[in-house]
Amino acid sequence: MIAVDTNILVHAHRAGSPWHVRAVACLRQLAEGTMGWAIPWPCCHEFLAKVTHPRIFVSPSEPEEAFQFLSALTSSPHLSLLGEAPDHLAHLRRLAVAGRITGARVHDARIAAICTSHGVLELWTADRDFGRFPELKVRNPLVAD
């Protein structure tokens, strides 16, 4: 299963992004494919916070527009929205201690822990910080391999 990080969602949603066309193509590939894919709930929350934030975008998205974008993705029959599993603390602890994670990077560790606990094989992201979690394969689908 492939999981999608916040930044891919943001680029796909924001038409002015230089990565918009590529991000839309990536999401379309997943949404129209037959393989299971996922979005961790924290990425949905962060997406909503970012695209509606007036300090990030001169013309931020309206909340309803952002929710419509996420709702459209949930129409994919193979999409799973992932949250913390009962053993989340153990996964988070293992990743945070092994990666010497502190401060704001705990958020990335949370996403990595959610992914690994649900059997995600690959996280699509443009964020290099996820490289701190070797048990989670990371790929930036916005650039050529």
Instruction: Supply the pLDDT for residue 145.
Output: 62
The CATH architecture annotation of domain 2-139 reads: 3-Layer(aba) Sandwich (3.40)
Q: Are 85 and 117 in contact (CB under 8 A)?
A: yes
Q: What is the pLDDT of residues 85-129, one digit of tens each?
A: 999 999 999 999 999 999 999 999 999 999 999 999 999 999 998
Q: What is the pLDDT of residues 85-97, one digit of tens each?
A: 999 999 999 999 9
pTM exceeds 0.85 for this model? yes
Say how far apart CA 62 and CA 144 lie, in whole Å: 32
Domain boundaries, the chain: 2-139
| Percent of the chain scoring above 70 in pLDDT | 99
- List residues bridging with 39 in a β-sheet: 81
Average pLDDT on 13-39 reads 96
Average pLDDT on 26-38 reads 95
- Distance (Å) of CA 103 to CA 15, 45, 96, 106, 107: 32, 19, 11, 6, 8
